[in-house]
Structure formats: C-alpha cells, structure tokens
Amino acid sequence: MMQEYLEELTIKRNEKVILYHSENIDFYTQYMDKIEMRDLRQLIDQQRKKICVVAHGVNHKFPFEYINHYDFWIDIRNKNDRFKILNRASENEKDFLFLTRRPTEHRRQLREKLQVQGCLDNSLYSYVDGENTRHLPPEYEHVKFHDPKFKDEQCYYEPAIWNVLPQQYDATKYSIVAETVETNGVHCLSEKIFKPLIGGHLFVVLAGTGYLSYLRSIGFKTFNDCIDESYDNEPNIELRIKKIVETCKNLMDADHRVIQEKIQDVIQHNHKLFFDDCHLQSLNTHIMAEVKDHFGEV
C-alpha cells in the first residue's frame, strides 16, 4: 500500500515527499518482506530527488540514503526535564546498571561473559530471554511494575522504560548499555544511552563501531581519559564484546571514588548539553538544511 501511494505522489503527481520514520529504521526494516524492501529501495533510487527519507539512527551502509533526526531525544528530554544528577557518595553502592529487554545473540553473549568475570555479582541487571528471565528487585522497579500482571501485560509501559528512575542510578556506579541495534555502522541513540547521560553515569556501550565517536561528533563527551574505549573502534563484534567486558572488569576493580572525581566535568557537561534547547535547535536546523539540499532547494 505504501509503495503504491508513493508511486502515485512522486510519479503521477510529480510531488516531493518526506518519508518520516520515528524509530531506528534498520530495526524495523528487518521485519519487512525482502521483495517489499527491494521495491522500496528501487523506488527511492529512481525518485531520489522526489523522496527524502528522514529516520532515527545513522547508517551509511543502509540500502538507501536517509537523514538522521533527533525527535526521540526531544521526547526523552521532555519526560525527564526535572531530573537532577544525584549525589552518589555511598560506600555500599552496586557496580553496574545493565537493563535489557528484547533478547539478541550479542546481548546474551555480553551478559554471559560479564557473569563469568563476576561483573554482575554486585550489580542491578535484568533481561527477558524466554524462561530465562531476570527482573530487578521491586524496590528498583517502577511502582507500576510491582504488579506482576501489569508488568507482564504492559512490559513496554513508557514511564518505566523511558523515565530515569532515581533509585536505579542512586544505587549503582556505572551503566552498561546495549543499544537497539548493535551491528557495525549503526549509530542509534535511544533511551538506553539517554538515561545515563541524564542520570550522571559513566557508560560502556555495546553498539555499532564508532558509536562513541558519533556521540562526540554531536557534542557529548565520553570517558576515554578514565577507561579504555578502544572497543569502539573494533569492527569485529565478538572482539568488541570481549573488549567491553575487559573494560567493565577494570572498572569494577578500580577505586570508584577516584574515577567519580575525575569524571565530574564530563557528567555535568553531558547532562547540561542533553537539556540544551539551543543545541537541539542547531541540530534540527542542520537537518532542515539537509532536507532542502536533498530536494535541490536553495
């Protein structure tokens, strides 16, 4: 149906179309029929100056060109606009916060390797993996998830998934993030990375190669002065997972108070930038310029 409608607009009516996708386009097109995907790619290639695709995430290897947008960043910002960075001076903190839902092979590999190294022994972590599912203790969950029936039926309840829960960040030192898409060449900024940026956590990320470089390119700072972030440059995902685990193991063995003191400037910078209206406006202005350039407009 969408294919026919696009053909009607661009070929028969000779109109220009912005095809907007709210989520990471790589994630959702995995479920498209191969023929449907092939036909869409062919139409976009043929009508390149009439169809502009604007989607979430950055992937230069995708079958057709598209422009990244930051609308989800705005959504998460608006849901957490009153959140203040917490004071984590406790001597009895847990090590990592590692929250995953949808199971993938790479997430499973990361979790299992972290477990072998003992990185999750004193951590808050959860995952959904069939019968092998682990939930957080109730005191660290959203209050709605205290009801097992509600949690089972509404597992994607937005306030529990998209809001930063203070009790999770107050109890833990660092975040391990497994992004929506972990494959090479994909840079998808989701609530998974936005929450540690808001909550004031040092983070280690399983994502596509160059993900941290992409974060830096849009103004955020990472923690390469304190930890080994060379995993971000590793093209082989198996080796990247291994390096991520090594980084987490070194973090767990380090003096948290020393690291926390060293990263304060980075944490404060990221939190401030995330809520900076002028910065987001400049990014969105750049997107509009890209759209006009795509259509050949001055």
Q: End-to-end CA distance of the chain: give it in Å, rounded.
A: 33
Q: Is residue 282 part of a domain?
A: no
210 and 96 belong to one structural domain = yes
Average pLDDT (209-230) is 96
**Which H or E run includes 23?**
strand 17-24
Q: Is this model's pTM higher than 0.85 or not?
A: yes
> Which of residues 12, 47, 69 is at a domain's end?
69
Q: Is residue 298 part of a domain?
A: no
145 and 238 belong to one structural domain = yes
Quickly tell me which residue has 């596509």 as its tokens.
208
Query: Domain range spanning residue 57?
Result: 2-69
158 and 211 belong to one structural domain = yes
- Write out pLDDT tens, residues 191-215: 999 999 999 999 999 999 999 999 9
Which of 181, 176, 56 is CA-nearest to residue 106? 181
pLDDT confidence bin for 182, thresholds 50/70/90: confident
Q: Is residue 123 part of a domain?
A: yes
165 and 263 belong to one structural domain = yes
CB 172 within 8 A of CB 96: yes
122 and 209 belong to one structural domain = yes
- DSSP labels, 20-56: EEEEEHHHHHTTS-HHHHHHHHHHHHHTTTTEEEEEE
55 and 167 belong to one structural domain = no
124 and 183 belong to one structural domain = yes
Instruction: Give the Cα separation of 153 and 148 in Å (integer).
Output: 9
Instruction: Give the Cα separation of 81 and 83 in Å (integer).
Output: 6
106 and 153 belong to one structural domain = yes
Q: Give me the CATH number covering residue 90.
A: 3.40.50
Structural domains of the chain, count: 2
CB 193 within 8 A of CB 168: no
Instruction: Give the Cα separation of 259 and 263 in Å (integer).
Output: 6
Residue 25 pLDDT: 85
- The larger pLDDT score, comparing residue 130 to residue 221, is at 221
Q: Is residue 293 part of a domain?
A: no
102 and 34 belong to one structural domain = no
96 and 50 belong to one structural domain = no
Average pLDDT (183-187) is 83
- Write out pLDDT tens, residues 49-76: 999 999 998 888 888 889 999 999 999 9
Burial 136-172 (b: 16+ CB within 10 A, else e): beeebbbeebeeeeebeeeeeeeebebbbbeebbebb
107 and 226 belong to one structural domain = yes
